[in-house]
Structure 1
Amino acid sequence: MYKKVGIIFEDATNTHTAAYYSLVAAMANQAELIIMAKTLKNGSQTCLRYKNRIEKFISECEERNINIKTVHYEQLTLNNIEHFVKNEDIDIVFLPLDFDTIKNNRKLQIVINKIKKLTDVKFAIVKAVHMVKIHHSKVVLVLDKKISSIKDWGDFIFSLNELFLNKLTLMYLTKEKEDELPETLSKLVHLLEKNKIYIEKLILKGISGKKINLEAALRNFDLIVMGISKRSPIKTIFFGNLMLDVLKESPCNVIVFKT
């Protein structure tokens, strides 16, 4: 489980959703919540709005008796995020994606590649579509048979259980028609059900981001949770990238988990 949870507190409205997810994870693990914030230099409207958002979030944490620490940086760059993660010895970091990054293929790929290189820390990359809708009644977990660690995924799902209240849909996409989950996913399901999280299994033929987004829209999912793509930038150019397609076009919130 996690001892330290981090949140990159950007000056954007979608940060609130990622911050709430980090709060839920900190509560579940009784962990310290460490906020990476920008240093405020002047009293402009933007700075005041940013300060108010942080103060409101800190108040929400204090109401839940969460131990908080705030670390300030001049800018919230990827290099600073790397420094923040290593300096504070954080177990998992929640990183909100702004809409400009999501729509810019090159910028999004740079962010993802940088995060993949940070091997000693887990990341939860958050895209927010519903800014206010935080308690999710329908959550889909999209995984393939090559998940890196059953334990890591179990810990992550347990940490966010308050969001979906013991009920998940597991979507497994296959190239060929299959009737059963692969062994790795069956073990994860067993682990979750052993801890009283009910899993509805959904096995679908056809592997694409478009398929995931379509199913999410048709089934009215509130949140898609999936793993980070291991595909290289070169392969992405030639073969596409399912994760990036989901992030760009999803009809609901998305969390991309990097173990």
Structure 2
Amino acid sequence: MAVILGAVYELDQSVGMVMESLHRRGMLENSVVVFSSDNGARPLGLGANAGSNWPLRGGKSTLWEGGVRGAAFVWSPLLSRVGRLSDQMMHISDWLPTFYTAAGGNLSRLGDIDGKDMWDALSKNLASPRHEILLNIDPIYNYSALIFENRKVILGDTAGGLYSLRTPVPGGTRPVDGLDQMMLNSRTGAVLRDFYKVQQVPVRPNWRQEVAVNCSYYNPRNNFSDNVSLYYFDVKQDPCELDNLAATNVTVSI
């Protein structure tokens, strides 16, 4: 755990140094800063570590939400709507056209690409232009998944269901008290205070609680059974993939 804490501290320092350098050179006024997680930790199996995707199911190399969801933040003076939380559908391939548009590029010059331009969605809080994500089609292990709006279909499973578990945080969920103050006292916090010429950078109250995934909020049934051939979830209402609608008589139409 000490190694992880040390790595996170150094990561904080490196982000702060980048922000200091941009500010010192007068480039922060025209910058878009994005910090994003990887696609899921690996709490089980080969290469397992102390990372956790709780309360989501699965992890890296799986198509469960714990293996494909990411968390990120975007900061920029160029954003029209700031201090908000976003749950707009976005794929990693969308960053290229999004940055290109933010920089003033003409999207037609990029040709036929997979990514969608998310700049207006992120900047102005408009609807996401993306409605579906093909997560994978694996013809070797017969494992594939597609998300269309709030619906998700998974065909097959991996390792006989071993990686379909929901793995709690080792030692229990940590409190978030004091994290905002640590954030404000960081090197990046100091840069932003000077950039905005304020004594204290405003922070949205309770934003950590707002972004937390709550599996019981919509009270879904828990009829999950691993190692079956078809899964169908409403990941908007059931992000923890507890209620496999394919086990009922519903008609799946995508």
TM above 0.5, one fold? no
User: For the pair shown, which has the larger CA radius of gyration, 1 or 2?
Assistant: 2
Q: Which has the higher strand share?
A: 1
Instruction: Compute the TM-score of the two structures, normalised by the length of structure 1.
Output: 0.24
Instruction: Compute the TM-score of the two structures, normalised by the length of structure 2.
Output: 0.24
